[in-house]
Amino acid sequence: MALIKKVRGFEPQIGKSSYLSENCTIVGDVIIGENCSIWFNAVVRGDVNSIRIGNKVNIQDGAVLHCLYEKSTIEIGNNVSIGHNVIIHGAKIHDNVLVGMGAIVMDHVEIGKNSIIAAGALVLEGTIVESGSIYGGIPAKRLKSIDPMQTHEMIERIANNYLMYAKWYEE
């Protein structure tokens, strides 16, 4: 069973039809929307500030979400995929975003809708990722615009696949 822990008077709220793996950890001031999935060894740590996660979001294996005390929060929109071993630290992520495996997204970053952060990217503090773009590298820079069809095919497909994967674990 997932570790869900009340901290400083804040108890995580989990939306209906959301899947939590047995060894994920969710603590403190966290609100998770509907049809989300939090996978193995993922940590959503709202002990020092708030974390808000929209609907149809998947936080994949080993990801860590955390903030700065009284300085940054996390806001994640709808239809977002956070890849394996990603670190999100105090950032705002709009709808329809894919954050690739092993990426690091630092405080006060804002990722516009319909965007992709490439695997292994380091998005430095305060970076503004334009909607409809792909960022990659260390430090992450804008690589190109993303084709709207690619947004639909890749971002939507991955988010939908994670809904399907979560259902496999209901048995």
Q: What is the pLDDT along the chain (171 residues), one digit of tens a residue?
A: 899 999 999 999 999 999 999 999 999 999 999 999 999 999 999 999 999 999 999 999 999 999 999 999 999 999 999 999 999 999 999 999 999 999 999 999 999 999 999 999 999 999 999 999 999 999 999 999 998 887 778 899 999 999 999 999 986
All structural domains of the chain with their residue ranges: 3-168
- Dump strand ranges (E) for the chain: 3-5, 13-14, 19-20, 25-32, 37-38, 43-53, 58-59, 64-66, 74-76, 80-82, 87-89, 92-93, 97-99, 104-105, 110-111, 115-117, 122-123, 128-129, 133-136, 141-145
Report the CATH number of the 3-168 domain.
2.160.10.10
Pairing of strands 141-145, 133-136: antiparallel
pTM for the full predicted model? 0.96
